[in-house]
Chains A and B, each alone.
Chain A
Amino acid sequence: MRQDAALVRMERIGKRYGGVQACRAVDFTLGAGEVHALLGENGAGKSTLMKILSGDVTDFDGQIEIDGTPVSFGGPTDAQAAGIAMIHQELDLVPGLSVADNIFLGRELRTPLRTVDRRRMDREARALLERSGVRIDPRRPVGDLRVGEQQLVTIAKAISLDARVLIMDEPTSALTTTEVERLFEVIRELRRAGVGIVYISHRMEEIAQVADRATVLRNGEIVTSFDPRKLSTAEVVEAMVGRPVQTMFTTPDTDTGDELLRVDDLKLTARRPRPGRRDPDGISLTVRAGEIVGLAGLLGAGRTELLETLYGVAPTGTRSGRILLQGKEIRPRSPRQALAQGIGLVPEDRRASGLVLFHSILANTVLSSLPAYGRLGVIARRLERGASVKMADRLRLKFGRLQDEVGTLSGGNQQKVVFGRMLLTEPKLLLLDEPTRGVDVGAKAEIYRLLGELAGQGLGVLLASSELPELIGVCDRVVVLRDGRDVASFSTADSGEGDLLAAAMGEAAVIGDVL
C-alpha cells in the first residue's frame, strides 16, 4: 500500500447511456476525514459517478482503487462490504415496511431464537434517528412519512452501516434549515472519525459550510476543483453553468391584482387521523393575482397538508372555515375539479406522486392538459408534441428524445417535467410543494424567472419551500406555519431568514445556535 494512497481513487471513469455520455474520463479522489462536494448542473453526471463508486452501476470504463488497491464491485453489496454506503437521491425505501424495518433491511437484528428482534430494532432505530436530531416513531410505515422524514430515515440508515465512505446524493433537498444544521453536525462528527464523505447538493450555501473540497462536473467532465471557502457563490455557480448567472432571484413584481385565494380559519379533522400528518388547524391567508406567497415552517408544520387540502386530495373528514377562489367559495374535492377551477399542484414527491417513470417524457408532460390537443377525445399528435417541445425548451430540459422514459432523466430534469405539466394547464393559482427540490442553480433561476413572468401575467402562487433563501428571494410575502396554524406573515422586502426561522420555531426555541 502506498503511503499517500487516498481512501478512494477513481481514475478515468467513463459511462455512456445510449446517446448520452454521463461521465467522461473523470478522475476523482476522496481522502479519509474529507468532505468532498460534488457540484454540477442537472444531468452533469454526479449521481452516475457515485453510483459507479457504490456498485449500483457495474458496467463502466476506468478503475477504482480503495486504499490504493484496485477493486471491482459486482453490485452494491460488494461495495458495502468494502465500506461504501450511499444515500440515494431518489429515496429507495420500502414504503410498506416500518422505519425500523427499513433501516435494518437485510441485516435484521435477531433474538437468540433467530427470530427478528423487533424491540431491539425499534430501540436502535430510535437512537439512530435521534442522533440526527429527529423524533420519528420507528414503527411507522415509511410510506406515510413525508419526503423530508424519509430523507432523514435514509440518512440514519446510511450512518448505521458504519461506512468508511459515505456518499450523500442530495440528502437535504427536502430538509429545512434546522434539520440541515443537525445533519452538518453529524457530518462533522463522522469527519472527525475519519469517514470520507462525498456531498452532492444544489444548495450553494451548504457547500461552503460543510465541504473541504469541491469538484465541478459539467456534461460528464470535471471542470474544476477548488476550496469552497475561498470562492464566492457567484464564482462557483459560474464554474457549474459555464457562464455568469447574474441575478438568482427576480425582484418581486409589486403591483398585484385582486384577491385570488382567501383561506379563512381552515381546519380539517380527518376521519381517520394518520400519525405524523399535520392537517390544517386554523389557517388563514390570502394570495392576490400576481402575487407569490411563500409557506415557511419546519418539517411537519403542515405546509404539504395545506396545499393538499386546497387541491382536494386531503383525507376525508370534517372541514371548517372557508376557501374562496376569486371571491367564490369552493370545496376542493378532487384534483380534477381543482384543475378545472384553475388550481394546479406540483407535488413534493415527484417519483411517487408526480411521474409515471416508465412512460415517455411526452406522455408525462401532457397528462394534465390532454383536452387541449384534441377534439372529441382524439389527440392530435402534432399539437401535443409541439406543446411539450415548447415547454421543454422553456424549462431548458436536458433530454435525448421526447419518447424516452422519463425515469432516465436526471433528478432535476424529472422535476422540471412535473412542473411543466402543471404550467401546460394554464392555472390561475399554482400550488408548489418544494418545486425546486433537486433542481440545479441555473434551472432554478430559470424557474424563478418563469414564475416572475407568470405572476406578471396574473398568476397567483403559493410556494412551500424548506429553503429560506428561496422564500426570501422569490416571494412577495411569506406566511409561516407552525403545528398546522399560521403564526406569522412577513413581507420579504423588510425581513430576513432570521425572522422566518424564529417564527417557525416558536419563541421557546433558541435560535442563536442555528444561525
Chain B
Amino acid sequence: MTEKPSVVATLFRFQSVFGLLAVFVAAIIFSPRKNGAILFVSADNLANVVRAVSEIGIIAVGMTFVILIGGIDLSVGAVLGLAAVGSAVLMVENDWGFLPSVLLVLVTGTIFGALQGVATAMIGIQSFIVTLAGLQIARGLARIWSGGQGVAISYGDGPKEAPTSFALLGERTFGGLVPIPVLIFAVVAIAAVVFLRVSAFSRHLYAVGGNEKAARLSGVPVVRVKIAVFAICGLLASLAGIVHAVQLNQGSPNDGIGYELDAIAAVVIGGTSLAGGRGSVAGTVAGALLLGVLNNILALNNIDSNIQLLIKGLVIVAAAALQRLRPAS
C-alpha cells in the first residue's frame, strides 16, 4: 500500500526552500548591474548576505527548538547583547584570555536559558512571560556589566586589548571565500539538523510539543526536555553574541534589540508551527536565508528602509498563509 506523496505535498513540505529559490531568482532579476555583471551574485555580495544572516541564523536554530516544544523565547536578542558585552568586558577590561572569556560567556548564556526553562517547566509560567522577563533581566545585566556604555574592542597583546586570536573569528577562511561567522552558522545548523534526525532526545522534544500530556504519560521526561531546550537556546544566543562582538568590534548593551522577532520570523517562514510539535531546522535555515536575500536585494536597490519593513511583514504573512493551505500529509 505504499503510495508516493503527492507533488503538492512535497511542494508544501519544502515550502521554505522553494520560497528561498523564488526570492533568489527574483533577486537576480532585480539586481542592479555594473559593467554587465549582476551585483547580487558576486561572490563578495553572496558572502555578505550569509554573513549578515549568520547571527540571526544561529539564534533562529535555538528558537526552532523552543518553538518545537510549543514555547517561545523572547530573551534571545538581550542574551546576545549580554554575551557581546561579556566578551568585550572580559577580554578588554579584565584582560582575560580568549578561551576563558568565550567559555564563561557561553556558560552564562546556557545557565540563563536553563533558568528560564526551570521557571517554565517547574513553576509552570508560560514561556512568553518568563522570557519577556528574561529579556529585561538580560538587558539590565548587560548594562550593569558594561557600565551602561558600549565597550570597543581593539586587538593586540597589551593591556586593555583583546587577544588577536579573537579577531580571527571575524576573518574569512577557505581561500578568503567563507567568513568564519558563516562557518559557525553552518556548523550549528548542520549539527542541529543531524541531532534532530537521529537522537532519541529529539523524539521527546517533538512529543512534548505535540501533546505534552501524552508525552508525560509515555514516560518522556518533560521537565528535563524543556530545561534542556531553553538551555540550548540560551547557548546559541550567547554564541551569536560572541560572533556579533567580533563582527562589530564592540560589545554594547543595546546590541541585538529586536533580533528575537527576526529569529521568530525565520522559524515561521521555515514552516515550523508555533503550536509546537511540527517543523524543522532546515526550514528555519531556509527562512533565515530568505530574509537575508530579501534584505540584501532591497538594500542593493536602495529601497527605503520603511518600505523594507513593509515588504518583510508581507513575506511573513504570506508564509504563514501558505501553511494554512498545507494539506494534511
Contact A378 B219 (CB under 8 A): no
Bound: A359/B3 CA distance, A: 18
CB of B272, distance to nearest CB on chain A (Å)? 13
Contact A353 B217 (CB under 8 A): yes
Q: Kindly state whether residue A400 has any CB partner on chain B within 8 Å.
A: yes
| Partner-binding segment picked from A162-170, A215-223, A364-372, A436-444 | A364-372
Q: Please give me the residue from chain A that is nearest to B277 by CB atom.
A: A356
CB of A514, distance to nearest CB on chain B (Å)? 34
B196-209 vs A, CB cutoff 8 Å, 1 = contact: the mask equals 00111101101100
Q: Kindly state whether residue B221 has any CB partner on chain A within 8 Å.
A: yes
Q: Kindly state whether residue B179 has any CB partner on chain A within 8 Å.
A: no
Q: Kindly state whether residue B33 has any CB partner on chain A within 8 Å.
A: no
Bound: A425/B213 CA distance, A: 18
Contact A356 B211 (CB under 8 A): yes
Bound: A464/B129 CA distance, A: 41
Q: Kindly state whether residue B218 has any CB partner on chain A within 8 Å.
A: yes
Contact B2 A401 (CB under 8 A): yes
CB of A372, distance to nearest CB on chain B (Å)? 10
Chain A residues near B217 (CB-CB < 8 A): 311, 313, 335, 345, 347, 353-354
Q: Kindly state whether residue A105 has any CB partner on chain B within 8 Å.
A: no
Contact A378 B216 (CB under 8 A): no
Given the contacts A377-B199, A400-B1, A405-B329, A359 and B206 also touching, CB distance less than 8 Å: yes
CB of A304, distance to nearest CB on chain B (Å)? 12
Bound: A345/B210 CA distance, A: 20
CB of B271, distance to nearest CB on chain A (Å)? 14
B207-251 vs A, CB cutoff 8 Å, 1 = contact: the mask equals 100110111111111000000000000000000000000000000
Bound: A408/B328 CA distance, A: 10
Given the contacts A358-B278, A379-B200, A313 and B216 also touching, CB distance less than 8 Å: yes
Chain A residues near B221 (CB-CB < 8 A): 336
CB of B325, distance to nearest CB on chain A (Å)? 16
Contact B3 A370 (CB under 8 A): no
CB of A50, distance to nearest CB on chain B (Å)? 20
Q: Please give me the residue from chain B that is nearest to A355 by CB atom.
A: B214
How many interface residues does B have (CB within 8 Å)? Answer: 26
Bound: A92/B200 CA distance, A: 32
Chain B residues near A334 (CB-CB < 8 A): 216
Bound: A401/B4 CA distance, A: 11
Q: Kindly state whether residue A339 has any CB partner on chain B within 8 Å.
A: yes
Given the contacts A377-B201, A379-B203, A352 and B219 also touching, CB distance less than 8 Å: no
Q: Please give me the residue from chain B that is nearest to A352 by CB atom.
A: B213
CB of B64, distance to nearest CB on chain A (Å)? 17
Contact B210 A379 (CB under 8 A): no
Contact B328 A405 (CB under 8 A): yes
Quick one: which of A448-474 are within 8 Å of B by CB?
none
A301-339 vs B, CB cutoff 8 Å, 1 = contact: the mask equals 000000000010100000000000000000000111011
Contact B210 A353 (CB under 8 A): no
Chain A residues near B203 (CB-CB < 8 A): 363, 366-367, 370, 379
Q: Please give me the residue from chain B that is nearest to A404 by CB atom.
A: B329
Contact B216 A335 (CB under 8 A): yes
B269-281 vs A, CB cutoff 8 Å, 1 = contact: the mask equals 0000000011000
Most buried by B among A352, A357, A358: A358
Chain B residues near A347 (CB-CB < 8 A): 217
Chain A residues near B213 (CB-CB < 8 A): 352-353
Q: Please give me the residue from chain B that is nearest to A369 by CB atom.
A: B219
Contact B277 A358 (CB under 8 A): yes
Bound: A366/B277 CA distance, A: 16
| Contact among A311, A353, A358, A401 with B3 in the assembled complex (CB-CB below 8 Å) | A401
Quick one: which of A335-393 are within 8 Å of B by CB?
335-336, 338-340, 345, 347, 352-359, 363, 366-368, 370-371, 373-374, 377-379
Q: Kindly state whether residue A421 has any CB partner on chain B within 8 Å.
A: yes
Contact B198 A379 (CB under 8 A): yes
Q: Kindly state whether residue A19 has any CB partner on chain B within 8 Å.
A: yes
A18-43 vs B, CB cutoff 8 Å, 1 = contact: the mask equals 11100000000000000000000000
Given the contacts A347-B217, A358-B278, A368-B218, A374 and B200 also touching, CB distance less than 8 Å: yes
Bound: A378/B3 CA distance, A: 29
Bound: A401/B201 CA distance, A: 24
A259-290 vs B, CB cutoff 8 Å, 1 = contact: the mask equals 00000000000000000000000000000000
A399-428 vs B, CB cutoff 8 Å, 1 = contact: the mask equals 011000100100000000000010001000
Contact A367 B199 (CB under 8 A): no
Contact B207 A359 (CB under 8 A): yes
Bound: A401/B5 CA distance, A: 11
Contact A425 B201 (CB under 8 A): no
CB of A143, distance to nearest CB on chain B (Å)? 11
Q: Please give me the residue from chain B that is nearest to A347 by CB atom.
A: B217
Residues of chain B at the chain A interface (Cβ within 8 Å): 1-3, 198-201, 203-204, 206-207, 210-211, 213-221, 277-278, 328-329
Which 3 A-B pairs have CB atoms at the shortest separation, nearest pair first? A356-B210, A339-B219, A370-B200
* Beyond known contacts A363-B203, A377-B199: 14 more, CB 8 A cutoff: A335-B219, A338-B219, A356-B206, A356-B211, A356-B277, A357-B211, A370-B200, A373-B200, A374-B200, A379-B203, A400-B1, A408-B328, A421-B218, A425-B219
